[in-house]
């Protein structure tokens, strides 16, 4: 083709205009930028004719349920934090991280949604016709619901992220998949838990609830009843189809904005109780008072640049849109700022769609790279005014000695820097 | 289990309360409804222990890219209107319809997105590294863009439906997949066509543009330049990953709200011109003036009930949420009404999420079925005030004799009735 380099040169020149607001381009300026590959149209058409691609053969399977291109190889990976178990190991903590470096928009494809399990990559193989959800405890009438029962009730559809509390970064990760890949976002559909609790006649003495999934360790955790009556969702749908087995088929409890571990997969039982119950999943909360624990369940405001990010390569100086994701357990994202000079100056980024509550929000910032070494960062603020902290602030909060690459001992929503080298390579700025 | 029937009975009773606004349930009413299966908790727990499901074995493939449960068998089908070609036939019109009867929320999973092709189920197998988009014609500097070039430019992410102009219904279809399955909705990510045209220096003499895809018949169609500068999108992303081959990998032109045929797949060329160009895809527009044609490109406001719909079965009288989808080429959906008495009384339905422009919008209506035969229908109004017409109104517009089951000769956005029989079976109300 030979046009690639020329096209880049054109982009490079126009980059300044783009960064300046997309308005400075006009016919006069433009003619000065005319590139040598503006060949006559009939030559281009001849060029086009040579490009007819081979075909993907139609099959019954591809008609019924399509697949991605074999050229697209984006995939999840066993996460370093829990990746010691092999896919066929059973009974070990196992984490599978989303390839955020390839993400576009805010939906994570269900096939690429992150997974955390307590027994390798094995998941229950549940027959939805046999599965029921029981609600009991401090209710007037305990009830069980089949999946079909739930689908008859008023439904809600909401975009929500889930994030594993262990989604931490320091200087050791090479890519954003390793540093931030334990969060994903999907369109969830189901019945509000409050609808079900009202059907069962929730007693006023109920102050907490415990959820149980169909797995040995049950996945149970105590949660405040106020959260149940606010926005918890018993989800049977995910991105327009049934919840996937790795994400809890046929039912997953969504607890928007809370740590991932509360989003109980393969949900089969909810018990309303009058006190905080400790259980398997409380290893991170044991030392806290019930009230402190409840407040600590919520994921803080967090953002990360996904493009360019660690392991990617800039193709020379010029225009690049810096793109990333922001989310918070505190509600919708209000604003995102990006710094392209290591944190000295912060610039307002563009929010790409109307931010949803407890959902990934895509942001973009137009950047004209001058070819010099630098560091790019993002930080966000949510609708209740919480701002994502710097790593220095997080260290101060935990009262630990600060070092760029230290490991945050608790939930880590600190700012992530990516270093851009002169050759355009992108690496972890904490390394 | 034995609890299924009891649970239904409970739902039946509570149905009245739900339909009345979810507020009439309280401890007093509730105790009167207490069902016999409210067994003590320790018995329930014993019951639960017996339910541990078999496991899906972890594999490298399932870690990298997950799949749906083998219990979920929802699938697309060759559509009756173009289904004469078998999947391995080449060179024939072929339509693959989305299983809307199983849809939840507004996202159509990419694997289930409808497809219309002109050569059976075959699709181009394009290497994205070799693929370029050329923009030429009435511009100051024709340019070609690689996929990587496009990904450097400012991106937009938008939820948009696409609908085939042939998505018609009359008395012949048994399911909503057959009657309405040639529409789907996805989250599309890419670059605004206006961004690219500004880069190329669009000449003021350009009034139309033609788009060409990598297929024999090219898929080209003339579109007004005003649409290009408004909201057309050169999309490389679909539901958070690369556009699927059946939907145009690696690039699809999105022309929000226009007939599906304009959403050029495998996009490789856009030419800006100063007049309306007729071409292969104009078979439906040939007789019109360019101005009439441009106005006729837009899909009218349309809605359909997806649950309950043809082929489904109600499980006795009681509460059911009537659920469906509404969309319009004229903008966002403003309101949806549902009738449960054959169209005599229309009731405001609930819109499930903030309606997006030219996107499927999920609606719900709480309904307490009394067990008698009836007909349920939906109709919508969009943000510019267009209301979905009845079939009588459409017949009048086309000046053809009216018959319930007549075939609309043009775009068909008429109201769809589903008939509920005494036994709970649901059938096409036009049959």
B195/B315 same-domain check: no
Reported as a pLDDT band with limits 50, 70 and 90, residue A12 is very low
pLDDT above 90 for B197:
yes
Cβ within 8 Å of B, A 204-223 = 212, 214, 216
What tokens does A97 get? 């991280």
Among residues B296, B314, B339, which one ends one of the domains? B296
What is the predicted pLDDT for the residue at A36?
A: 30
Q: Are B276 and B170 within one domain? A: yes
pLDDT confidence band for B23 (50 / 70 / 90): very low
Average pLDDT for A209-227: 80
Interface membership of B145 toward A (CB under 8 Å) = yes
pLDDT exceeds 90 at position A67: yes
Instruction: Please indicate, yes or no, whether residues B221 and B361 belong to a single structural domain of this protein.
Output: no
Nearest CA distance, B241 vs chain A (angstrom): 6
Whole-number pLDDT of residue B215: 72
Mean pLDDT of B103-132: 92
What is the Cα–Cα distance from B381 to B210, expressed in whole angstroms? 31
Chain B hits for A359, CB-CB cut-off 8 Å, are none
Residues in chain A with CB shorter than 8 Å from the CB of B353 are 157-158
Q: Is A71 domain-assigned?
A: no
User: Quick check: A424 contacting B, CB < 8 Å?
Assistant: no
A143 touches B: beta carbon within 8 Å: yes
Domain-located, residue B398: yes
The arithmetic mean of pLDDT across residues A54-59, rounded, is: 88
B382-421 residues touching A, CB cutoff 8 A: none
Question: Residue B140 and residue B325: Cα distance in Å, rounded?
Answer: 44
> Which domain-ending residue is among A296, A322, A341?
A296
CB contact at 8 A, B200 and B140: yes
Of the given ranges (A183-197, B34-48, B155-169), which has the lowest mean pLDDT? B34-48
User: B-chain residues within 8 Å CB-CB of A37?
Assistant: 142, 144
Give B401 to chain A, closest Cα distance, Å.
Answer: 37
Q: Is B334 part of a structural domain of the chain?
A: yes
Contact B187 A74 (CB under 8 A): no
Q: What is the CATH number of the domain that holds B316?
A: 2.60.40.650
**Among B37, B241, B242, the residue to mutate for chain A (most A Cβ within 10 A):** B241
pLDDT digits (tens, 9 = 90+) for A100-130: 999 999 999 999 999 988 777 888 999 999 9
- Residue with structure tokens 């938008």? B158
Structure-token pair, residue A280: 């398997």
3-state SS assignment for residue B31: helix
Average pLDDT over chain A reads 85
User: Is residue B277's pLDDT more than 90?
Assistant: no
Average pLDDT of the residues in B86-96: 77
Helices in A34-183 by DSSP H: which ranges? Answer: 41-49, 60-64, 147-152, 176-180
Q: Per residue in A324-361, pLDDT tens? A: 999 999 999 999 999 999 999 999 999 998 999 999 99
Length of chain A: 431
- Note the pLDDT tens digit of each residue in B232-258: 999 999 999 999 999 999 999 999 999
Chain B touched by A43 (CB under 8 Å): no
The neighbouring-strand residues paired with A258 are A298
Starting at the edge strand found earlier in the chain, the sheet holding A302-307 runs A302-307, A318-327, A361-369, A350-351
Counting the structural domains of chain A, the total is 2
CA distance A199 to chain B (A): 7
CATH number, domain with residue B239 = 3.90.420.10
Q: Is the pLDDT of residue B10 over 60?
A: no
Mean of pLDDT values over B281-308:
76
State the residue range of the domain holding A191: 132-296
- To the nearest whole percent, how much of chain B has pLDDT over 90? 66
* A273/A314 same-domain check: no
Check whether residue A314 and residue A420 sit in a common domain: yes
Indicate whether A114 belongs to any domain.
no
Q: How many residues does chain B have?
A: 431
In a domain, B191, yes or no: yes
In this structure, the answer to whether residues B147 and B279 fall within a common structural domain is yes
Contact A7 B122 (CB under 8 A): no
Q: What is the mean pLDDT of residues B151-165?
A: 96
Looking at the complex, does the CB of residue B183 fall below 8 Å from at least one CB of chain A?
A: no
Q: Which residues of chain A have a CB within 8 Å of the CB of B354?
A: 354
pLDDT of residue A288: 64
Q: Are strands A222-224 and A241-242 parallel, antiparallel or unpaired?
A: unpaired
Contact criterion met (CB < 8 Å) for B249 and A88: no
Whether A108 is covered by a domain: the verdict is no
pLDDT at A395 over 70: yes
In a domain, B76, yes or no: no
Please return the burial class of A287, using the count of CB atoms within 10 Å of its CB with bins 0-12, 13-18 and 19+: exposed
Q: Is B247 helix (H, G, I), strand (E, B) or coil?
A: helix
Residues B195 and B266 grouped into a single domain: yes
Task: Tell me the mean pLDDT in the region A14-24.
Answer: 36
Q: Examine the domain organization and report whether B226 and B365 are in the same domain.
A: no
Q: Which residues are CB-neighbours of B339 under 8 A, at least 6 positions away?
A: B345, B346, B347, B375, B376, B377, B378
Looking at the structure, tell me whether residues B310 and B290 fall in a common domain: no
Q: Summarize pLDDT for A248-307 with one digit per residue, the tens.
A: 999 999 999 999 989 999 999 999 999 888 766 565 555 566 666 666 788 999 999 999
pLDDT at B48 over 50: no
Closest by CA to B336, choosing from B411, B387, B384, is: B387
CB pair distance less than 8 Å for B246 and A66: yes
**pLDDT tens column, A149-206:** 999 999 999 999 999 988 999 999 999 999 999 999 999 999 999 999 999 999 999 9
Cα B212 from Cα A138, distance rounded (Å): 64
Answer yes or no: is A307 within a domain: yes
Last residue of a domain, one of A262, A296, A330: A296
Cα separation, A358 vs B128, whole angstroms: 34
């Amino acid at each position: 083709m030979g046009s690639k380099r020329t096209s880049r040169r054109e982009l490079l020149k126009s980059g300044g205009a783009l960064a300046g607001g997309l308005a400075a381009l006009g016919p006069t300026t433009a003619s000065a930028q005319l590139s040598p590959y503006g060949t006559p149209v009939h030559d281009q058409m001849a060029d086009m004719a040579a490009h007819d691609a081979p075909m993907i053969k139609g099959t019954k399977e591809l008609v019924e349920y399509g697949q991605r291109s074999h050229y697209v190889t984006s995939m999840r990976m066993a996460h370093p934090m829990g990746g010691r178990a092999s896919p066929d190991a059973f009974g070990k903590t196992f984490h599978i991280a989303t390839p955020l470096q390839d993400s576009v928009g805010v939906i994570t494809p269900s096939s690429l949604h992150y997974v955390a399990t307590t027994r390798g990559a094995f998941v229950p193989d549940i027959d939805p016709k046999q599965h029921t959800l029981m609600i009991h405890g401090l209710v007037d009438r305990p009830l069980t619901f089949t999946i079909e029962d739930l689908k008859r009730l008023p439904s809600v559809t909401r975009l929500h992220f889930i994030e594993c509390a262990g989604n931490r970064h320091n200087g050791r990760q090479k890519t954003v998949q390793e540093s931030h890949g334990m969060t994903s976002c999907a369109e969830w559909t189901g019945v509000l838990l409050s609808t079900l609790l009202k059907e069962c006649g929730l007693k006023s003495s109920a102050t907490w609830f415990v959820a149980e999934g169909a797995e040995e360790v049950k996945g149970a955790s105590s949660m405040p009843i106020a959260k149940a009556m606010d926005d918890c969702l018993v989800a049977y749908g995910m991105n327009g189809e049934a919840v996937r087995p790795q994400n809890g088929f046929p039912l997953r409890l969504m607890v928007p904005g809370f740590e991932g571990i509360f989003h109980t997969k393969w949900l089969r039982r909810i018990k309303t109780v009058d006190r905080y119950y400790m259980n398997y999943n409380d290893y991170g909360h044991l030392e806290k008072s019930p009230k402190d624990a409840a407040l600590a369940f919520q994921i803080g405001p967090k953002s990360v640049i996904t493009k360019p990010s660690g392991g990617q390569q800039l193709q020379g100086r010029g225009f690049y849109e810096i793109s990333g994701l922001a989310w918070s357990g505190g509600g919708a994202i209000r604003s995102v700022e990006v710094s392209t000079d290591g944190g000295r100056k912060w610039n307002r980024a563009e929010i790409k769609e109307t931010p949803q509550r407890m959902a990934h929000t895509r942001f973009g910032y137009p950047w004209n790279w001058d070819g010099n070494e630098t560091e790019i960062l993002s930080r966000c603020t949510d609708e209740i005014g919480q701002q994502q902290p710097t790593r220095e602030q997080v260290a101060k909060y935990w009262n630990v000695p600060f070092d760029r690459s230290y490991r945050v001992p608790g939930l880590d929503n600190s700012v992530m820097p990516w270093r851009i080298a002169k050759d355009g390579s992108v690496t972890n700025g904490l390394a």
